Amino acid sequence: MLPIVLLSVFGIVVLFLGFSKSKNILLPATLLFLLVTLIANFVDWNHQYLYFNDMLWGNNASMVFSGIVLLSAFFVVALTRGFEQEGEAAQPAEYYGIMLFSLVGAIMMISYENLIILFVGVEILSVSIYILTGSDKRNLRSNEAALKYFLMGAFATGIMLFGMALMYGATGSFVISDISEIIGTRAWNEQSQLLYAGLLMLLVGLLFKVSAAPFHFWTPDVYDGAPTIFTAYMSTIVKTAGFAALYRLLAGSLASLQDYWFATLATITVLTLLAGNVTAVYQTSFKRMLAYSSISHAGYLLIALTSLTAKSQSSILFYSLAYSLSTVSAFGVLILVSQQQASNNYDAFNGLAKKNPFLAFVLAVSMLSLAGIPLTAGFMGKLFVFTDAAQKGTIWLLVVAILASAIGIYYYFRVLIAAYFKEGDLATIRIAPFYKVVLIIVTTLTIVLGLFPDLVLQLV
Amino acid sequence: MSFLVLIPLLPLLGFLINGIGFRRIPKNLVGIIGSAGPVAAFALSVYAFISFQAQGSAPIHVHLFDWITVGTLNIPFAFQIDQLSLLMLLIITGVGSLIHIYSVGYMHHDEGFGKFFAFLNLFLFFMLLLVMGSNFVIMFIGWEGVGLCSYLLIGFWNKNTNYNNAARKAFIMNRIGDLGYLLGIFLIIQQFGAVEYAVVFEKAATMAVDSPAIVAITMLLFVGAMGKSAQIPLYTWLPDAMAGPTPVSALIHAATMVTAGIYMVIRSNVFYSLAPDTLDLIAIVGLATALLGASIGLFQNDIKKVLAYSTVSQLGYMFLGLGVMAYSPSFFHVMTHAFFKALLFLGAGSVIHAMSDEQDIRKMGGLRHKLPVTFATFVVATIAISGIPPFSGFFSKDDILANVYQHSKIMWGLGVLGSVMTSFYMFRLLFLTFFGTFRGTKQQEHHLHESPLSMTLPLVVLAVLSAVGGFLNVPEALFGSMKLSGFMAPLYELAAKANPVAFAHQHLSHTQEYVLMGVSVGAALLAALGAYVVFVVKKSVPAADGQETGLQKLVYNKYYVDEAYDAIFVKSMRTASDLAYSFGEFMIDLVVNGTGKVVKNAAAKLRLLQNGATSFYVFMMVLGITVIMLWNFWIK
Amino acid sequence: MYSDFGQILLFIIVAIAIIGAILIANKIIRPNLPNEEKLTTYESGEDPVGNANVQFNARFYVVALVFVLFEVELLFLFPWATVFGRPELIAQTNGRWGWFALGEMLIFVGILSLGLAYAWVKGYLDWIRPEPKKPDYALKIPKDLYQKINQKYSTHR
């Protein structure tokens, strides 16, 4: 509860700080606020809590999920550099404020006990992201992306709300644990059809948010159109929060119905893996490739969710963390390079390693992690996720996933080939010290977690 | 006993410092850093030895951390310190320190000085890990690590293609052995569900003699030992390994690494005592290797090659001893062999140093005046290895032979034959090198000089050890008390409990022992005399290359084993891989490129779905929802 | 009898019935004299011609948003008001209830006021007043030429 309150207050404070003459105060203030919230997030450590009339629920796992979201937000905010380069039209105070507000939504999605809180959380997060997507007001692509996202998001929200209503109709409750209890009294094939329709629609709504196929079509356009820094923001935060919410829903109240939803979710998983990985092969833009990569990682995360074993939660948690870290560093490098080259394409990276060995290394670690090469966090994440599937016994799903990750290597390595083996005239890029520190931390974490995954897993 | 961790860590530290900064650290410092680690480790080993004796005979277990935990299998990273590992520690760090000090002088002019010390330290680290580990997996790390260092050091002068080939040969031969060893470990895990010595042996001790699992494990482990300790058929790498710098030959290919196989067998004596069939095989392989090595040694003209075959042959003796369950005598021989063979190699190094890198003994002669210290120590070593009392080789070899005699008299006879040959080729080497007149070029003669102190000091120390090392285990027949055997006895308690029949051998009477000693010493002396007559009195010099005849030619060319291996294994392997390659070219490419094409085409099609129209996206969503609903409510 | 939804059904029936009754009553009582002006969609005079997709000034939305915001605030104030002054709750908590409820509502209203203040300071509440721009293009014809012409023709009048 504390982080939600703090973030709301801090958001307002940041908005009003925007009126002060010195714009330089905004970035440090926001970082400080995020740090305070990150610490406050763990005050309930080792306690299971229920707040707001049993609306919010939390335990260590949900605190770690919130921690991942806050940490990713911290890194992304650190990479904004105060929006200095965005020009006159930029409204740093509003961006930071909206980012803080969106985190409120994300934390609600992670630790809801009542479906209404889930809905409110999804909306707070989504609306914030709509605005951030369209924040580049003079850019048509940014506007298009925002509008597209908004229209489709509204549609998905409608479906989700409908699903919640139907579930309420079937069970008479919005509370996760109550629903679970009511469902538990009957076998899975004796439930009311209302409940099934409801849960399917609710799932569709949430799957839209995490961009699972066939509800993923917005993703490439929106990721591509949004300012890069906000693409990084939404690809990490929305995904983590979305999967935490999905896990909470499936494990918290619908676990006994696994036989029912398994086939549907498994099909969606396969579709997502294929749609993400195969389409990514054809892209020429690095940024757009990362959008497809985000779809494919949703697919991997869905594997853990579909299998829903005792270890699924820690797998999802670790995978989200690994994915967030690698994504942040990938976008961090992309921002610098695209600024220099005025392009997001693979060609922009040509010859990066020659004059910018540091950036090339950061990029390499991040790509290796995303591709799931050993000694990186990404590998461990994939390993855990695949173990879940193996434990559930869904070998065919595993085969598809492994083929998909083989395809993944192709497009992740393309940028590395450009950076290391192609000739290019990229000049040395000046990196602000703080920016560099963030990249170093993220890269180090990626490697350290690849070697000692227990550092995070033992928290749960 | 937490200071034990430091013993392997100190050389590792040396490796890190020298390895990372070997271009920046001045030469003098490199030598000091490189030698300080082993010397300190030696001091700690001595301290460990003293404190171990103070606390009794129970093994000390030092648990560092849990390394791998998979299901019920737990592999800790832990050290086990008992009699065996302590003795190995003393040998490795003691001889190792001396050889490091020697290397300071020997390698001083080499441009890769720092690199050399780094590798040497790394080798020590792995070797110490090998003997200190408390389970088979840690031993395997050390096992692989020393293999790697051996590879690096054989190919140390990596600008020479032949040396590189020798390094590769050593590596591949060892890989064959390692495969066996690894399979053995897998079998142990499968059979006992653990790898810790204490656990595994406790469980193994309850099994029946000659149970198939134990035989399989011992056989597989022995394959590993064959590779590492250069036994037939995997011995050919060791003579080629002489391509490395001489201190490397002394440390790795004579004193320490090649004895890892013996260490392993003694360590798993519970297994081996339960598998008499394997023991018989070991004895036969050991004996055959001993004879083969000695016979090849008779006609070699390269000073290091002679010593290399001698090492092969001596290792054969040790395995012969192991094969008749004379574990302590074999280990005793490991120890004395470490002293005198290291001394011989270092002496050879000193000669080579003086001869400006000439290794052919046909071009030497009369060096005893120019290299007095080297000569004196070399003589001590030669007497020791030939088994002439009271030097160390006599005691250890005699100990083994006495045990062999109890097992089989034919084997004993062949063993004595081997020792005759040993005595002959060693004295041949001694006489050709140090006696007679100088046969090299004028320039070499002019350059002859005794080596610096840093090289002669280790020689002297090792000579003293070679001379008196035998008194550690004087048999009762010579009024000794078998100190070493007594010290090592607790190691076999478990095995003796598991298979009491094997350990219940009757002792030889003192008269019998005197006769045995007399025969072998007499034979050795006779062989030495023969060598004296041929090479000093008659002053004959071995024929130049290609002029040997008959049997001599066969032996000189090492029975054409290398050529045979080349024809049988390498050629057929080449053909097979050529076939596989062409097949791969076709099939694999078909599959790989085909998959690539399919994916690309699919991507090109799928890409078109992303057409940018929101209405289409929403349509797809609706379609998806409809399909989900239809499927879940009507079709299912 | 009927469930809680039955009451809602009754509400619906009654609502339809009343509206129907009123409309019917209207039909009976009112004079019926249609003319063209009266039959237009918007009697206010707005001509419903052309595409409905015309652009409105974005300021409409801002004002509408602020309006909706305070509508919702009012909506919240009503249920709050019903429990705020309950004597039994106040008695039970020894008077703290009132302060607590008041404090909560103050926070709520305070946040909204902050939002209003923010919008105000940012200038979102100001209606755009068109500021006529002075054209600043340079003419090749000198100004006094015009004056001359003006003078010339003014004298002749």
Domain region containing C34 = 4-122
Nearest CB neighbour to A215, from listed B604, B614, B624: B624
> Can you tell me the mean pLDDT for C12-22?
95
Question: Could you say which of A214, A220, A282 has the minimum Cβ distance to residue B621?
Answer: A214
Mean pLDDT in chain B?
Answer: 85
Q: Note whether B371 and B301 are within 8 A (CB).
A: no
How far apart, in whole angstroms, are the C-alpha atoms of residue A367 and residue A149? 27
B and A adjacent (3 or more CB pairs under 8 angstroms): yes
- Which of B599, B614, B623 has its CB closest to that of A152? B614
**Yes or no, beta carbons of B628 and A204 under 8 Å apart:** yes
Same domain, B482 and B514: yes
b/e per residue A189-223 (b: at least 16 CB within 10 A): eebeeebbbbbbbbbbbbbbbbbbbbbbbbbbbbb
Kindly report the nearest CA distance between residue A259 and chain B, in angstroms. Answer: 12
Q: What is the band of B546 on the pLDDT scale with cuts at 50, 70, 90? A: low
Q: How far is B418 from chain A (nearest CA, A)?
A: 53
**Same-domain status, B445 and B512:** yes
Asked if the C-beta of A383 comes within 8 angstroms of chain C's C-beta atoms, the answer is no
Predicted local distance difference test score (pLDDT) of residue B154? 87
Our count of domains for chain C comes to: 1
Which SS3 state, helix, strand or coil, does residue A57 take? strand
Whether residues A281 and B624 touch (CB distance < 8 A) is answered with no
Flag whether pLDDT at A245 surpasses 90: yes
Nearest to A282 among B603, B612, B616 (CB): B603
What is the pLDDT averaged over residues B546-568? 72
If you ran DSSP here, which 8-state letter would residue A114 be given?
B
Closest Cα of chain A to B64: distance in Å? 17
Q: Report CB contact under 8 Å: A15, C118.
A: yes
CB spacing of A16 vs C118 below 8 angstroms: yes
Whether residue B622 is contained in a domain is answered as: yes
Q: Which of 4-63 (A) contact C at CB < 8 A?
A: 12, 15-16, 19
Indicate the range of A58-67, A81-90, B309-318, B341-350 predicted with least confidence: A81-90
CA distance A12 to chain C (A): 8
CA of A128, closest CA in chain B: separation in Å?
Answer: 20
Model pLDDT, residue B547: 65
Structure tokens at B83: 């009699």
Establish if B504 belongs to a structural domain: yes
Judging contacts by C-beta atoms under 8 Å, the chain A residues touching residue C121 are: 19
Distance from CA of A9 to the nearest CA of C (A): 9
Express each pLDDT in A256-275 by its tens digit: 888 888 989 999 999 999 99
Number of domains in chain A: 1
| Inside any domain, residue C47 | yes
Q: What is the mean pLDDT of chain A?
A: 90
Task: Please state, in angstroms and rounded to a whole number, the distance separating the CA atoms of residues B606 and B40.
Answer: 67
In this structure, of A233-247, A322-336, B445-459, the range with the lowest mean pLDDT score is B445-459
What mean pLDDT comes out for the span B580-598? 81
pLDDT single digits (tens) B43-87: 999 998 888 888 877 888 888 888 777 777 788 888 888 888 888
Report the chain A residue with the minimal C-alpha distance to residue B614: A148
Q: What pLDDT is stored for residue B545 in this prediction?
A: 67
Check pLDDT > 60 for residue A119: yes
Write out chain C residues lying below 8 Å of A20, CB-based: none
- The answer to whether A278 and A293 are in contact (CB under 8 A) is no
Average pLDDT over residues B235-248: 84
Q: What is the pLDDT of residue B253?
A: 82
The CATH number of whichever domain residue C57 belongs to comes to 1.20.58
Taking an 8 Å cut-off on Cβ atoms, the answer to whether B606 and A275 are in contact is yes
**Considering only CB atoms, which chain A residues are within 8 Å of B612?**
221
Q: Does pLDDT of C1 surpass 60?
A: no
Asked if residue B474 has pLDDT above 90, the reply is: no
Which of B505, B540, B575 marks a domain boundary?
B540
Question: Can you give the pLDDT at residue B107?
Answer: 83
Listed ranges B35-49, B554-568, C136-150; the one with the highest mean pLDDT: B35-49
- Return the number of CB contacts < 8 Å for A and C: 6
Q: Determine the residue of chain A that is closest to B624 in CA distance.
A: A214
In a domain, B17, yes or no: no
Chain B residues within 8 A of A280 when measuring between CB atoms: 603
Which residues in A lie closer than 8 A to residue B607 (C-beta atoms)?
Answer: 279, 282
Cα gap B548→B542, rounded to integer Å: 9
| B269 neighbors B489 (Cβ within 8 angstroms) | no
Q: Considering its fold, how many domains does chain B have in total?
A: 2
Distance from CA of A300 to the nearest CA of C (A): 41
pLDDT of C123 reads: 79
Rounded percentage of chain B residues whose pLDDT exceeds 70: 97
| DSSP assignment string, B336-401 | HHHHHHHHHHHHHHHHHHHTTS--BGGG---TTTT-HHHHHHHHHHHHHHHT-TTSHHHHHHHHHH
Contact check, Cβ <8 Å, A12/C111: yes
Please report all neighbours of B, defined by 3+ CB atom pairs within 8 A: A
User: Do B523 and B409 share a structural domain?
Assistant: yes
Task: Report CB contact under 8 Å: B617, A148.
Answer: yes
Nearest by CB: A279 against B603, B624, B631: B603
Residues B335 and B465 in one domain: yes
Instruction: Please answer yes or no on whether C121 and A19 come within 8 Å at the CB atom.
Output: yes
Min Cα distance A13 → chain C (Å) is 10
> Taking CB atoms and an 8 Å cutoff, what residues of chain A touch C111?
12
State the smallest CA–CA distance between residue A355 and chain B in angstroms. 25
Residue A61: which domain range?
2-457
| B550 within some domain | no
Answer yes or no: do B606 and A279 touch at CB < 8 A: yes
Domain membership flag for residue C15: yes
Query: What element of type H or E holds B70?
Result: strand B60-70
List CB contacts (< 8 A) between A15 and chain C: 118
Q: Kindly tell me if the per-residue pLDDT of C157 is higher than 60.
A: no
Distance between CA atoms of residues C18 and C25, nearest Å: 10
Chains that touch C (3 or more CB pairs under 8 A): A
In a domain, C144, yes or no: no
Could you read off the pLDDT of B176-188 as tens digits, one per residue? 888 889 999 998 8
Q: Quote the ipTM score.
A: 0.89
Subunits with 3+ Cβ pairs within 8 Å of A are B, C
Q: Based on the fold, state whether residues B307 and B448 are members of the same structural domain.
A: yes
Q: Hey, what amino acid is at A117?
A: I
With beta carbons under 8 A apart, name residues in chain C contacting A12.
111, 114
* CB distance A296 to A280 below 8 Å: yes
Burial label for A399, CB within 10 Å (0-12, 13-18, 19+), is: exposed
Using CB atoms, pick whichever of A204, A260, A278 lies closest to residue B625: A204
pTM: 0.65
Give the residue carrying structure tokens 């695209």. Answer: A338
> If you ran DSSP here, which 8-state letter would residue B472 be given?
G
Pair (B400, B306) in one structural domain: yes
Tokens found for residue A82: 């105060």
How many CB pairs lie under 8 A apart between chains A and B? 68
Range of B571's domain? 563-635
Band of the pLDDT at C31, cuts 50, 70, 90? confident
Average pLDDT over residues B355-373: 81
Question: In chain A, what residues touch B609 (CB-CB under 8 Å)?
Answer: 217
pLDDT at A218 over 80: yes
Say yes or no for a CB contact (<8 Å) between A278 and B603: yes
B510: tokens are 């003192």
Contact B599 A217 (CB under 8 A): no
b/e map B460-498, b = 16+ CB within 10 Å: bbbbebbbebbebbbbebbeeebebbebbeebbebbbeb
Query: Quick one: CA dihedral A7, A10, A12, A17, positive or negative?
Result: negative
Q: Reduced to 3 DSSP states, what percent helix, strand and coil does chain A have, rounded to the nearest 5?
A: 80, 0, 20
Is the pLDDT assigned to residue A164 strictly greater than 90?
yes
Q: Do C and B touch, counting CB pairs below 8 Å (3 needed)?
A: no
